[in-house]
Amino acid sequence: MCGIAGIISAKHNIGNLQEILKLQQHRGPDHTGEYVDPGYCALGHNRLSIIDLTSKANQPFRDNSGRYHLTFNGEIYNYIELRQKLQAYYNFKTTSDTEVLLAAFIVWGKSCLNHLNGMFSFAIWDSYKKKLFAARDRFGVKPLFYSEEDQEFYFSSEIKALQSILERNQPNEKVWANYFAYGSYGMPRETFYHNIQQLPGGHFLEYHDGNLKISKWYDFEERVKKSAKTLSFEDAKKVYSEILSDSISLRFRADVPIGFNISGGVDSSLLLALVNRLQNNKNIQAYTFYTGNENYDELPWVEKMIETTQNLLKKVKIRPTDVIENAQFLSDIQDEPYAGLPTLSYAALFQAAKEDGIKVLLDGQGMDEQWAGYDYYQNSGNSTTIQGMGKVNPFRVNILKKDFSELVEKPVYPTPFDNDLQNLQYRDIFYTKIPRALRFNDRISMAYSTELREPFLDYRMVEFAFAQPRKYKISNGVQKFLIRKILKEIAPKDLSYAPKRPLQTPQREWLGNELKDFTEENLEKLRFSKASGWFDFDEMQKEWKNYQNGDNQSGFHIWQWINAALLLSR
């Protein structure tokens, strides 16, 4: 896991590249490297050493001919298998997945992307053709932001790094307006800033002679439709179990210590059981957080599961003071709005892992979307739900001023499948739930120079699960049905039916009580921020009083305002 950067320009300033690398150094503190093709290109890299820890694998990485230069963020999990296929065509100098990636591009060209099983964003400079090729993994686990300005092209792993060298740096008011009105975090190419975009997951870009071309390389819809075939439930369970086991084994490839995050749900329980079953190592460190509020904490479920595996468990307690101390830091790390106390709590696990010398953590993101685990999948005709907040409206559009509210445009998502359930799953995988979670998680893990791996987002698993019939996903009101059956065979029975708990932190209670002063301080900051013209502060104060008087079934709107203050009042 690393940071990448580049400037394509006839008059690039190496000082600008160094500024970018300095601001994202937390992503890769082990080595910082630069490559310059005078008059054309400058590439940079921040390295977090995970595979092949030697200096030979430092980046930007040059091929044997000196023609191609690679800056790469992520992991190619099947690099050993790919290396075996490529060694007849390329003379390897390292044991790194970095060199395998570059060799794959040299031998297979753009089609190399279809061979890769991993999480990645990378850029390759062809010093002969003076052409840049960059790509992002299928689901967008690893980020790639870019900007075009005055015939120059910039890219990096973090928004703040680009903001430091761009002259124009204004909030994208439409994206912000949709965030307040619908909870949207933008469409795949958008960010919360006008002059910075992101390459969508499953896409590549080419930049040559001042011309930018973006193409889609991963056609999930077509792959699912072509591969869909009816299997018996037992056969489907067997096939999926094999892919799942292989995915976890691949993600244990590392030359550094590995741990994992665990909650009390089905997904984490399955991950814990399989990690111990496949790795046969009872000393793999597990991490979980709790707040001391039994209405939200999953600690009893976690401890019950750990009893059966005897893993080392570090329990990290989150207190209201942690929010006060860390909210601004994480806002600076995120660059865009984030999910509040859940993200703060999750960040504490990466901090604990770093203190323990753990450089790689696994977690269970992705099962709910591929196996229909959210409550609203039961009523799949409810295609308007974005937040999954039930019947409570988490937004307060009345606090927006008229001119600003006129920018609001309800997000419309593609519906490429012939049924509501799959269209909802598709939306959540590519537009809402997964992109949002991956964004939060990448930035907080990198804040603590720790790599996060998501074994349940192996594309083979997602495609297979997505294509299965509804009855394998939801049966007699039981969601993630097939997964629960797998877990039942390898874990205590009651854990395989652990209830889905959408809220794991007392955020709505804390905001109105323990964090009352913190909330009011940030609402006041908002009055003097870049966003001051967006809000009717009289209406906002009414809503705040209503919240304190008991209208607090959802605290998301309060956190939205705090988020805006943290990001836009500097």
CA separation for the pair 285, 306 (Å, rounded): 11
Sequence-distant (≥ 6) Cβ neighbours of residue 564 within 8 angstroms: 176, 337, 526, 529, 531
| Residue 116 contacts residue 76 (beta carbons within 8 Å) | yes
Q: Residue 97 annotated as binding? A: yes
Sequence-distant (≥ 6) Cβ neighbours of residue 168 within 8 angstroms: 149, 194, 195
CA separation for the pair 506, 340 (Å, rounded): 11
Sequence-distant (≥ 6) Cβ neighbours of residue 399 within 8 angstroms: 180, 535, 536, 539, 540, 543, 557, 561
Q: Determine the distance from the C-alpha atom of residue 407 to the mean position of all C-alpha atoms in its chain, rounded to a whole number.
A: 27
CA atoms within 13 A on the CB side of 337: 25
Catalytic-residue membership of 2: yes
Q: Which residue has the tokens 């082990």?
A: 30
Least Cα distance to 7 among 155, 125, 191, 150 occurs for 155
| Residue 373 contacts residue 500 (beta carbons within 8 Å) | yes
Ramachandran angles phi, psi of 74, nearest 5°: 130, -160
Token pair for 118: 């991993």
Facing residues of 290 across strands? 317
CA separation for the pair 1, 73 (Å, rounded): 5
Cα→Cα distances 105→80, 94, 110, 180, 542, Å:
16, 16, 6, 42, 58
Tell me whether residue 309 is exposed, middle or buried, using C-beta atoms within 10 angstroms of its C-beta: 0 to 12, 13 to 18, 19 or more. middle
Q: Which residue has the tokens 């205590």?
A: 492
Ramachandran angles phi, psi of 379, nearest 5°: -115, 75
| Residue 156 contacts residue 3 (beta carbons within 8 Å) | yes
Token pair for 321: 């003071």
CB atoms within 10 A of CB 512: 19
Facing residues of 125 across strands? 69, 132
**Residue 198, SS3 per DSSP:** strand
| Residue 69 contacts residue 124 (beta carbons within 8 Å) | yes
Please pick, among 2, 50, 113, 487, the residue that the annotation labels catalytic: 2
Q: Determine the distance from the C-alpha atom of residue 225 to the mean position of all C-alpha atoms in its chain, rounded to a whole number.
A: 26
Which residues does the annotation place in the binding site?
Answer: 97
Catalytically active residues, by annotation: 2
Which residues does the annotation place in the binding site for L-glutamine?
Answer: 97
